[in-house]
Chain A
Amino acid sequence: MNSTHIGWAGLAGSFTLIVIAMALSVWQRLRLSRSIAWAAARAAAQLLAVGWALRLVLDPDASVLWAWAWVVVMVVFAGATLRQRAPEVPGIWWLGTLSMATVILVSLSVIFGFGVFPIEGRTIVPLAGMMIGNSMTSCVLVGRRIVAEFSERRDEIEARLALGQTWRDAARPYTGAALRTALVPQIETTKAVGLVFLPGAMTGLVLAGVDALDAVTIQLALMYLVLGSVATSVTVIGLGLTRQLFTPDHRLRRLDRPATSS
């Protein structure tokens, strides 16, 4: 067995850790063993299916258009997943799709524009997947935070509007707070990398036998890519959602409680 091919036997060996997790669940009566088994089986099925499809897309002889088509599917699925995860956020499907598309456009333009990686199926698909995957949680967070903030602070926002502020000015402190909340975890992760944990891509490269310094430079590029992607996606969702919560004549739309009472 070489370092990049663990084989079915190696995979089965790693499954031992799942058995340990299930055993711990039984021992502590957590009633999670079925969930753990299901999660492990589902992950296996999904990844094997993806691996099989990726083999076709990443084939050096295959057209790069297949890779781009794959990215389009990922973007659309990301929007649908966001809607599932945060149904209380109005317009999250189209905002999520728009933000992911923006992230792909901006980030890949930079990465490929500067020639950081070559434009090939084997770079397009994993990079896009990494950006979308890392942006999802932050997008859910910022969407939920804005909806909560605008519901809780409705009085303040309307007081600002009543003083003649535009919707943009009236919303700025609250949207800004939500954007900070969503971005801080990714900034903290970026700060802690190397000291607290070794990130996945670097670990994978080192395991695959790549020189540690080469692995670090690739990882750094990816970390910058992810931080930029998260910032972009969160900003697109945050500003888009904020705009959507106001009418064209600068009134705050109703969220979870009526605006009028007497």
Chain B
Amino acid sequence: MSLSAHRPLLRFESVSVVAGSGAALLVDVDAEVVAGMITVVAGPSGAGKSTLLRLGDRLDIPTGGRVLFEGIDITEMDPCALRRTIGMVFQRPVLFAGSVADNLRVADPHASAERLESALEQVGLDGSLLGRIGDDLSGGEAQRVCIARTLLTDPKVVLMDEPTSSLDPANRRAIESLARELADRGLGIMWVSHDHDQVARLADRLVVLRDGRRVGEAEAGAYLDDVGALESDGDGSHEDPPGDLP
């Protein structure tokens, strides 16, 4: 993928979030999601990672700063249309009552069976799963169905909030590979993780949060050094070094 394909899609400009209790959840955080790359948001529990992600899908709004999608303030966009363009995958797979097909049709009520099968195949699942009840799926299958459901809205950005935290290592790797495939197809991925090894495996760009603030590049670098850094990532297929340098 050429560097020109790495255009900015979603940009967080000095976003702050103050909770109702007065606690600062995010303070003046800048971050960017670009096409064709995985931006990992890392940091300890309570650092504000999920809060940042939710701002991107307008499930919450910042008390300061703004979020731009393709240069437009997202508060000026229709929220429903925005959320179909910016997909979100949650930490725990959330399946609705009914079959896998019912779940997928929440994203696209008029989708044909072929389109649903194709969506499942995109995430490495067999089309025969369409008739299965959501409760009968394994954790890994359920999360993949959630990703397939999100992809049915044809998003340009996918925000993934620790999507593998409840999965076994094999499923974890499979979902990571899927995120990489999506990025290679040109989607912008923002992936929240506090798993150091995973950060090292996935991050094309890195945002490290601590106590609601984004740490500087030096500290972010140290964060990676602490965990063996990206040098140990044998992949070597990515063009850009880690570190979000918007």
A interface residues with partner B (beta carbon < 8 Å)? 155-156, 158-166, 173, 249-252, 254, 258-262
Contact = CB atoms under 8 A, between A and B. Distances in A.
Contacts of A250: 79-80
Nearest to A259: B60
A172 B150 CA distance: 20
Nearest to A254: B20
A173 B146 CA distance: 19
Contacts of B46: 262
Interface in B88-102: 88, 90, 92, 94, 96-97
A78 B43 CA distance: 52
B125 interface: no
A156 B94 contact: yes
Interface residues of B, number: 40
Contacts of B150: 162-163
Contacts of A161: 59, 83
Interface in B50-92: 50-52, 54, 57-61, 75, 79-81, 83-84, 87-88, 90, 92
B130 to A, nearest CB: 18
A259 B59 contact: yes
B3 interface: no
A252 B79 CA distance: 12
B107 A249 contact: no
A250 B96 CA distance: 19
A164 B61 contact: no
A166 B50 contact: no
Contacts of B192: 262
Contacts of B107: 163-164
B198 interface: no
A245 to B, nearest CB: 14
B144 interface: no
Interface string B1-36: 000000000000000010110000100000000000
Contacts, number: 81
A258 B19 contact: yes
B65 to A, nearest CB: 15
Nearest to A247: B61
Given A166-B80, A262-B209, 6 more contacts: A159-B96, A162-B90, A250-B79, A260-B25, A260-B51, A262-B49
The listed residue with most B CB atoms (<10 A of its CB), out of A161, A252, A254, is: A161
Contacts of A173: 96-97
Contacts of A163: 83-84, 87, 106-107, 149-150, 153
A163 B81 CA distance: 9
Given A259-B54, A259-B59, A262-B50, A164 B81 contact: yes
Contact of B45 (A159, A160, A262): A262
A251 B49 contact: no
A165 B19 contact: no
A9 B83 CA distance: 72
B47 interface: yes
B60 A164 contact: no
